Structure 1
């Protein structure tokens, strides 16, 4: 199925599922017939916009033999992009130290350390292999720390942070918590959800917030922060939840937030008089016409900057080709998970971005093979607890996850295959039914949508 024609087809299928639910309330339909029709609609939805899995490119036995013979210098890199190892992932380690939900994780450049932060306003740097906290310090925020990231090429001595109180802070790190130097470098007028590192640059980064502002921070300046843009649509501000710099072009960055449009900018071309300074825009067409227009909770570039993933609130994940023309159609769609509130991250996995990975409100981690949109791995991350962040290791077949649970977790390959295709299909259908039921009940009232999502998390 081509993706251009598939978009409308899937929209009709989703509407069909919702209409079935409505009809079950308003029309006297035999229960058996209703269940059969609903099951057929769900089966069609699971199969739509999905193609056959490509043949595996990595064979573990031959790869190990070649490595022993000394002819496989890139063995570890190939293993990280292997479907065979991904399908053997299971829990390896738990990192206990936080006393509130964990919002964010990041490995340092070598991959030896992992940083975490969240509701308790503490930042912990872990030796994750030893399950030991190397440093645990007060961030200086007054509420949730949404992101804390090591600055590139800083020798792991500098960290940028942002949080729900709108602050943007930078920490100069040393071995003792009492010696940390933390200063505020910017202040958003509302929650600052995301910061974007500039590849290889230890002194510059970008931040975005619900005040619709993007700040450029340069730590070499006496006044580090300068306002790069205020995003407006029809003269109204569009709050931002996510920002990411193109790894192949440090002048280009993408933002997403409280509407369904992905916007790409170039810092060298920020003339508001020309297309509101927007270089390119992407949006799945059917989302632009929804009565409830979903927000973008997270976006991320691929390893070479040619592709862009965007995760939508209580919708799906979409892949865009950044080399395509302005307002081009999405390339791929990844479905089956739940994403209720604007905190859910999305990421690529594999050295060449071969897979797409996301947490889910149902407590599972989902992995899709990028080129086919098929789920190749799905497992419990936290029993009944939302998972918001999944962070791949920079060099090893390892990932870290966190969410409303207080304990970040480390996942890696085991000796046994852990995939469960039938169980995954049942879970996909359940998540879809819950999303459709919610849409039918609340499609005319966006405020109810946010209240329902908040209460859902409070009950978790």
Structure 2
């Protein structure tokens, strides 16, 4: 891979292909990652880090209830101060449009504080309205003096520092209260789409990432007893891996989101599941889960893919890794081959085989999707049909697996 040529083509020809995205995880770059230095100062577990918009200052907050500001280039401490919190600080954010002089923190003591870094000893904002631990905060570059908080009480607050606030309050600061929709819900993480600040992503203790359109939601006060929910129909979209949906295990506490983030372009959502894997969703072209959706069988078998020496070499290398139970390397080789020859059904089936043998969380469902790709390229592909049935069985879709086998018999 010629890095200089790829970047030059991107600049001159606006080239957009798989190689550009692959540079983010290029093996040589990953292998060069190394520890540069340690920033020593905190006396407790460091739970959160945040750069200023310029990247010249790094803020950290800890179980020791202190906030430290660092120069990331000299690796020296700029300043530190003790917060009024009485519980572990879980999140810290620089407030937008404040010249990086204002920050806000949220902690296990249910409290939110905002500070002016010129005199951080006396917070400029205090809120004790959450009923449980505050886990994450979020801001958007184009929303001055506004931040969002998510707590394990199931509530999302929208706070505007330009408005007065007294606890307890009748002020309308509740944007979303998930307790209105389900029991035993805890919001774990939150993110604002910087390109589309009306979009707010929320992760909770279930398998669904939610994206709300704030423009459709009216703020309510805490403890609102109104019978009318403030979330109108159509204000939220849900995203989840197909193998977790309609699964009895998806609502257990072992599956919960710990982090959500929008891509810089604003059209993708990254989701981390505790006890599971990391998933990337295209929010503009979201797909419904695929289980059993067989293509129509044409009268004649599909022609075999055109021979390609490089693809054959990658396939052979993948097969060797597969036989030696080196499944990660096998998957990588098959993926490289697919990027060159995306119409080769055999490569998809081989990757599905490696995925099912690796048995990471989500691998079986990904293998199922590869079987679908292989069958849409060649509906006569018997091995892909059989492995699809096996994949459905493995994710406990027993009725669909039986249907798949019956179609195979036909």
Q: 1:264 to 1:374 in 2, by over 3 A?
A: farther
Conserved? CA contact 1:170–1:185, under 8 Å = no
Q: Residues 123 and 323 (structure 1 numbering): CA distance in 2 closer, same or farther, change over 3 Å?
A: same
Question: Are positions 1:105 and 2:46 aligned together?
Answer: no
Structure 2 unaligned residues grouped into runs of 5+ = 13-19, 166-170, 219-228, 291-327, 336-357, 362-410
2:282 is aligned with 1:315: no
Aligned counterpart, 1:238? 185
Alpha carbons of structure 1 residues 283 and 202: separation in structure 2 relative to 1, 3 Å: same
Aligned: 1:88 with 2:28: no
Measured after TM superposition, the shift of residue 243 of structure 1 is 0.6
Aligned equivalent of 1:281, options 238, 241, 244: 238
Distance 1:119 1:225, change over 3 A: farther
Q: Do 1:264 and 1:281's aligned partners in 2 also have CA atoms closer than 8 Å?
A: yes
Whose radius of gyration is greater, 1 or 2? 2
Matched, 1:328 2:288: yes
In the other structure, the counterpart of 1:229 is 176
Shift of 1:281: 0.7
Residue in 1 aligned with 2:111? Answer: 167
Q: Which has the higher contact order (CA 8 A, sep 6+)?
A: 1
The correspondence of residues 131-150 of structure 1 with structure 2, limited to 5 A, is: 131-150=75-94
Contact 2:125 2:161 in 1 (8 A): no
Shift in CA distance, 431/329, structure 1 to aligned 2, threshold 3 Å? closer
Q: Normalized per residue, which structure has more strand?
A: 1
Q: Classify 1:227/1:199 alpha carbon distance in 2 versus 1 (closer, same or farther; 3 Å).
A: same
Alignment of 1:41-440 (within 5 A): 56=1, 59=3, 81=24, 83=26, 84-174=28-118, 181-185=123-127, 187-223=129-165, 226-232=173-179, 235-270=182-217, 272=229, 278-288=235-245, 289-291=247-249, 292=252, 294-325=255-286, 328-329=288-289
Count of matched residue pairs: 272
Q: CA RMSD in A?
A: 3.6
Q: What is the Cα deviation at residue 87 of structure 1?
A: 3.2
Q: Which SS does the other structure have where 1:87 is aligned?
A: helix
Write 1 or 2 for the structure with the bigger share of helix: 2
Query: TM-score, normalised to structure 2's length?
Result: 0.59
Q: Structure 1 CA distance, aligned partners of 2:105 and 2:217?
A: 25
Deviation for aligned residue 1:156: 1.4
1-side partners of 2:240 and 2:259: how far apart?
14
How far has the Cα of 1:270 moved from its partner?
2.2
Gaps of 5+ in 1: 1-55, 72-76, 331-367, 376-428, 433-460
Match of 1:403 in 2: none
Instruction: Check whether the contact 2:142–2:197 (CA below 8 A) recurs between aligned residues.
Output: no
CA distance in 2 between partners of 1:62 and 1:275 (Å): 46
Per mean C-alpha deviation after superposition, the further-off stretch among 314-323 and 291-300 is 291-300
TM-score if structure 1 supplies the norm length?
Answer: 0.53
Query: How many Å separate the matches in 2 of 1:119 and 1:108?
Result: 21
Q: Secondary structure at the match of 2:34?
A: strand
1:278 Cα shift?
4.1
- Kept in 1, the 8 Å contact 2:190–2:202? The answer is yes
Aligned pair in 2 of structure 1 residues 61, 284: CA closer, same or farther (>3 Å)? closer
Give 1:233 shift. Answer: 6.8
